[in-house]
Structure 1
Amino acid sequence: MDIDFLSNHPDKINEVSEMIFKEFVVKTGSGLKYEDVVKHFSNTKDNALPITLVALENGVCLGTVSIFENDLKIRDMYKPWLASLYTKPEYRGRGVGQHLVTKTVDVVKELGFNELYLRTEDETEYYRNRGWTYLETVSDDKYEKIDVLKIKCI
């Protein structure tokens, strides 16, 4: 399995866009259009935010993760954020997500950040069991319970 920047694999932009649109846009009712998601992923970079990584095996995309400057408007003092971690169902249980997270931490460190944040509505224990520190629980106009966690990038 290889973890690489989506910007190095433009042929995977539509596939990543479709995964994220179905999992994070449609399910949350955010109102973004599919075309907006494609445009976003068409503009990710490898040395400045936003960054998107893909897990690849023999040319097949197994999953993806992004690094955003902010993923929770009510907590704009925290940056950057791990966002949109997704592994295709048929590849779950193989460590794809953990490989994506590990590479994300490495990239964030290379960019000069000491910490990385994430938000989750229902996977707090998954991250805590992998070294993330719980910071707080907040709510916004969509969710009553959002846990915010961080990890040191050292």
Structure 2
Amino acid sequence: MNVEYLSNHPEKIEEVSEMVFNEFIVKTGSSKTFEDVVKHFSNTDTHAFRITFIALENGKCLGTVSIFENDLKIRNKYKPWLASLYTKPEYHGRGIGQTLIAKTIDVAIELGFKELYLRTENASDYYRNRGWTYVETVSDDIYEKIDVFKLKCV
């Protein structure tokens, strides 16, 4: 398995958009359309925000993760954010999520950041068990409970 920049694989943009749309847009009741998500992922970069990675094996996309400047409007003082981590269910248990996170951390360090943040509504234990530090719990107009975590990038 290799982790590569989505921007180097434009043929995977719709597949990544579908994963993110179904997991993070539809489930939240967001008004964003699938076309909005495709447009978002069509404008990713390798050294400036929005950066998206994909896990590839034998040409198949197994999962994705992004680095955003901000992933929680009510907390724009925290930067940057690991966002939209997703592994296809049939590939769970293979360490793909951890590999995608590791790549995200490496690139955050390359970009000069000392901390990386994330938000989760349902996976706090997953991140706690992997060394992320709980920062706070907040609410927004969609979720009553959003846990914010950070990781020191060293």
TM-score range, shorter chain: over 0.9
Deviation at 1:142, TM superposition (A): 1.0
CA distance in 2 between partners of 1:35 and 1:121 (Å): 25
Aligned residues: CA RMSD: 0.5
- Matched residues, percent identical? 73
SS at 2:44 equivalent: coil
Q: Which runs of 5+ in 2 are unaligned?
A: none
1:24 aligns with 2:29: no
Task: Name the SS for the 2:28 alignment partner.
Answer: coil
In structure 2, the residue matched to 1:121 is 121
The number of residue pairs the alignment matches comes to 154
Q: Name the residue aligned to 1:48.
A: 48
Q: Which residue of 2 aligns with 1:78?
A: 78
2 CA distance for matches of 1:114 and 1:20?
27
In the TM superposition, what are the counterparts of 1:139-154 in structure 2 within 5 Å?
Answer: 139-154=139-154
Secondary structure of 2:56's counterpart equals strand
- Give 4+ residue runs of structure 1 displaced > 2 Å after superposition: none
In the alignment, structure 1 residue 61 sits paired with structure 2 residue 61: yes
How many angstroms apart in 1 are the aligned matches of 2:90 and 2:97?
13
SS of equivalent residue, structure 2 residue 143: coil
What does residue 90 of structure 1 align with? 90
Gaps of 5+ in 1: none
